[in-house]
Amino acid sequence: MSFLIDPEDEDCRYIPALGSRHHGFGDFLDRVGVALPPSIDLREVVRNGWLRPILRVRLPQTIFEGHQLLDSEAWASELYSRCTHPYTWRRRDLTGDWFVHFLDDPNSELRTHALLHAIASGPGVEEPTPIYDAKRQEQIFPWIDYFAYWQAYELSEVLSEAQLIEPILDTPDAVIRIDEIRRSLPQIREDSQRRLRSIRQRWQENQPIFDWISRYRTLLAIWSQKRTEWKVMYEAASLLLSHLAITPEQLKRTIRDVLLAEWQRWEWGGDTKARPRKLFGLLQEDIFRAVNFLAAVTGEPMDLDDPFWGIPKDRMNHGWAPMPVALPF
């Protein structure tokens, strides 16, 4: 796994998905090895309740019809352009709270407009009427969904549990097997829903640590494109820690008790479909970034052999993987 800073991490907290198109977050899922089932797109994922976007923003119909936009709709054009041409909107300066994404910045007018036009999403929620594009001969769904990069972990596990049964082969007892499944289907679905609730609850509990990791990823991405001195990054990291209102001790404990616990859960899980190797690489990168953030705000070098998270002297399982196992270098 490469630990090079990715410029695309500038938007890792808000990766867009335009309607049902395989764009943005869909492309990111491909990169980390998370495959959607055939005939299922991200819109269906949300409608099924398998994953909820961090934010869904309703766009005015005129933006898709080629009409002159009203001044009051100019925000939508910029927001849409930021999704389709993100590189042209990369942060150009390192002034003020430069490490804050515009959708997190309370002083951003675009953020204000986006939140004013935020709408609900999920099972049973009425969606805006789609627009038919005669030129492309396709439906356009007039909204933008924003997902956080770390939701790929949750979706990967959810998709695995959403598969109710294993494939049935064409064997002599296939009909008997199908009848058994039909009779057991209510219990099968109940068990699946219980496991899905457990996954959602765990990732909801995990969200705070991935929130600060994603903020640090955003900081690194913006800083790396300016090729400025390390001092600027360290100062911004300390300011970010202040914004988060957490202590280095809390960072260190959550790295061990959440990230390294997830690493052990995934290593022991054995389900390569729910946990593709590329996604393992992303988790390893998150652990590295987290330890790197801790080092940046404390001014102390990364110590992967620190007894706090190193290989226990008693060699017993303490509910988390030792750091040298997750980062073996």
Can you give the pTM of this predicted structure?
0.90
Closest CA to 218 of 24, 9, 7: 9
* Per-residue pLDDT, 292: 95
* Per-residue pLDDT, 39: 81
* Per-residue pLDDT, 192: 84
- CB within 8 A of 157, min separation 6: which ones? 199, 203, 274, 275
Q: Give, in order, the Cα–Cα distances in Å from 296 to each of 6, 125, 148, 301, 308.
A: 18, 43, 23, 8, 18
> What band does 176 get if pLDDT is binned at 50, 70 and 90?
confident
* Per-residue pLDDT, 298: 95
Run of H or E residues at 251: helix 248-254
Q: How far apart are the first and last CA of the chain?
A: 12
The per-residue pLDDT for range 188-206, each reduced to its tens digit, is 888 888 998 999 999 999 9
Q: Where are the beta strands (DSSP E) in 83-206?
A: 131-133, 138-140, 143-147
Q: Is the pLDDT of residue 110 over 80?
A: yes
* Per-residue pLDDT, 17: 93
* Per-residue pLDDT, 22: 61
Q: Is the pLDDT of residue 282 over 90?
A: yes
Q: Is the pLDDT of residue 122 over 80?
A: yes
Q: Is the pLDDT of residue 281 over 90?
A: yes
The per-residue pLDDT for range 9-55, each reduced to its tens digit, is 999 999 999 865 567 999 999 999 999 988 888 999 999 999 999 99
Q: Is the pLDDT of residue 148 over 60?
A: yes
In degrees, rounded to 5, the angle at the alpha carbon of residue 220 between the alpha carbons of residues 149 and 243 is 85
> What band does 318 get if pLDDT is binned at 50, 70 and 90?
confident
> What band does 156 get if pLDDT is binned at 50, 70 and 90?
very high
Determine the 3-state secondary structure of 114 from DSSP.
helix
* Per-residue pLDDT, 274: 64
Most confidently modeled of 71-80, 172-181, 310-319? 71-80
- Residue 2 or residue 15, greater confidence: 15
Report, as an integer, the average pLDDT of 296-323: 87
Closest CA to 61 of 51, 70, 53: 70
d(CA 132, CA 59): 15
Run of H or E residues at 174: helix 174-226
* Per-residue pLDDT, 2: 57
Judged on CB neighbours under 10 Å (0-12, 13-18, 19+), 250 is: middle
Percentage of residues in the chain having pLDDT higher than 70:
95
List beta partners, residue 133. 138
- CB within 8 A of 254, min separation 6: which ones? 208, 209
The per-residue pLDDT for range 41-99, each reduced to its tens digit, is 899 999 999 999 999 999 998 877 766 667 778 899 999 999 988 888 887 788 889 99
The per-residue pLDDT for range 221-271, each reduced to its tens digit, is 999 988 788 999 999 999 999 999 999 999 999 999 999 999 999 888 755
Run of H or E residues at 228: none
Radius of gyration of the chain measured on its C-alpha atoms: 22
Burial 44-60 (b: 16+ CB within 10 A, else e): ebbbebbbbbebbbbbb
Report, as an integer, the average pLDDT of 300-327: 86
Contact by Cβ (8 Å): 58, 142: yes
Report, as an integer, the average pLDDT of 115-140: 87
